[in-house]
Amino acid sequence: MSDTFTIDGKTYQSRLLVGTGKYRDMAETEQAVAVSGAEIVTVAVRRSNMGQNPDEPNILETLPPEKYTILPNTAGCYTADDAVRTCRLARELLDGHDLVKLEVLGDQKTLFPDVVQTLQAAETLVKDGFKVMVYTSDDPLVAKQLEEIGCVAVMPLAAPIGSGLGIRNPYNIRMILENAQVPIIVDAGVGTASDAAIAMELGCDGVLMNTAIAEAKNPILMASAMKKGIEAGREAYQAGRMPKRLYASASSPIDGTFF
Amino acid sequence: MQIKINGDTEEVSDGCSIYQLIQQLDLTGKRIAIELNCEIVPRSQFPETILNADDRIEIVQAIGGG
């Protein structure tokens, strides 16, 4: 039986979502995304640099929307207004495609979300017909509020964006999962494959990452490792792990010993 | 007349439409979105949208990002 997950009515095989920033060039981006097996890729919306590097391929030529679900993000926005404006431009850019990643930051040093602005922007965007996947803190109450507003996925951070510190508060993630009726995707903070596996073992529906792959010494190999980490963690979650015990439990039978 | 394009002051001819502007900027057929004075201009309205002096145009595209 195939193990798929669904966001806004569309079914995906891969539970790994990847960002496309920080790569050396477009060729490396393309290869890393391909090897990761990701079907959902985030992009940023920025001023077009007219005249400069006219020959450099556009990200949407490298990663065509016919092949990938393009998830424009509002990274770099510090107010609800800027985030809403960015989403509207992205929708125009992508011919009406209305799935977006909402991210409203509160502080340049931590890149933690400003949850007040995030809630405001989420409300405006949902009313405007957007399908919102929302980056937020690992606060279970805020996660629930974002779901109630109508976000199609809630994406708590594991640790600060780009920090690679891994899942800092698995207990909060578990509480978020317990209350959730929409997909929960860990977004940000993953550093290596075991971090991705831990997120999936907790029962998350997916993991979104960028820096962990792009800043690895060998990004292509790390993309492959992340794919496997996600799959291993998912299977372990479905298999149901053995209980932890304080003392040993022999693996070989006691009966039939001849000594 | 002068307008602002992505924050920079540029000279364009009177009566220039957004369609003509993106032709001049060699952006025809590119995946871009345009805001005129903070309002999105749908692609279908590029030919009929005529620029005025001191208009502020933002031309955006998708780039790599997390």
SS (H, E, C) chain B: CEEEECCEEEECCCCCEHHHHHHHCCCCCCCCEEEECCEEECHHHCCCCECCCCCEEEEEEEEECC
Confidence of residue A64 (pLDDT cuts 50, 70, 90): very high
Confidence of residue B66 (pLDDT cuts 50, 70, 90): confident
Contacts of A73 (CB under 8 A, 6+ apart): A19, A42, A43, A44, A100, A101, A102, A103, A135, B65, B66
Q: How far is CA A124 from CA A82, A145, B6, B7, B19, in A?
A: 12, 14, 26, 27, 30
Structure tokens belonging to residue A219? 């990004």
Active site includes A101?
yes
Residue B12 lies in a domain: yes
Residue B54 lies in a domain: no
Structure confidence at residue A49 (pLDDT): 75
pLDDT digit string (tens) for A85-125?
Answer: 999 999 999 999 999 999 999 999 999 999 999 999 999 99
Residue B4 lies in a domain: yes
When the pLDDT of each residue in chain A is averaged and rounded to a whole number, the result is: 95
pLDDT digit string (tens) for A14-48?
Answer: 999 999 999 999 999 999 999 999 999 999 999 99
Say whether residue A59 is in contact with chain B using an 8 A CB cutoff: yes
Question: What is the domain extent for residue B8?
Answer: 1-29
Interface of B with A in 1-60 (CB under 8 A): 5-7, 25-27, 30-35, 38, 40, 42-43, 58-60
**Nearest of A157, A208, A221, A202 to residue A39 by alpha carbon:** A208
Structure tokens belonging to residue A68? 């990938």
Beta bridge partners of A209: A18
Residue A210: pLDDT above 80?
yes
Best mutation site among A50, A52, A187 for testing chain B: the one with the most B CBs within 10 Å? Answer: A50
CA-nearest residue to A91 within chain B is B33
CA-nearest residue to A189 within chain B is B66
- pTM for this one? 0.94
Q: Which residues of A touch B40 (CB under 8 A)?
A: 88-89, 92
- In this structure, the dihedral spanned by the alpha carbons of residues A143, A145, A151 and A155, taken in order and rounded to 10 degrees, is -10
**Nearest of A90, A35, A32 to residue A65 by alpha carbon:** A90
Q: Which residues of A touch B34 (CB under 8 A)?
A: 92
Strands ordered across the beta sheet of A131-136: A99-102, A131-136, A153-156
Q: In chain B, how many domains are there?
A: 1
Residue B38 lies in a domain: no
Buried b (16+ CB within 10 A) or exposed e, A224-255: bbbbebbbbbbeebeeeeeeeeeeeeeeeeee
Q: Which residues of A touch B25 (CB under 8 A)?
A: 50-51
| Shortest alpha-carbon distance between residue B9 and chain A (Å) | 14
Q: Which residues of A touch B9 (CB under 8 A)?
A: none
A&B contacts, CB < 8 Å: 101
Question: Which of the residues A101, A109, A131, A217 is marked catalytic?
Answer: A101
Residue B24 lies in a domain: yes
Say whether residue A73 is in contact with chain B using an 8 A CB cutoff: yes
| Shortest alpha-carbon distance between residue B1 and chain A (Å) | 20
Contacts of B30 (CB under 8 A, 6+ apart): A48, A58, B22, B61
Beta bridge partners of A134: A102, A154
Q: Are A63 and A70 in contact (CB under 8 A)?
A: yes
Residue B1 lies in a domain: yes
Residue B55 lies in a domain: no
Residue B8 lies in a domain: yes
Side chain identity, residue A33: V
Contact B65 A50 (CB under 8 A): no
Mean pLDDT in residue range A170-188: 97
Q: How far is CA A159 from CA A110, A135, A186, A188, A214, in A?
A: 9, 12, 10, 6, 17
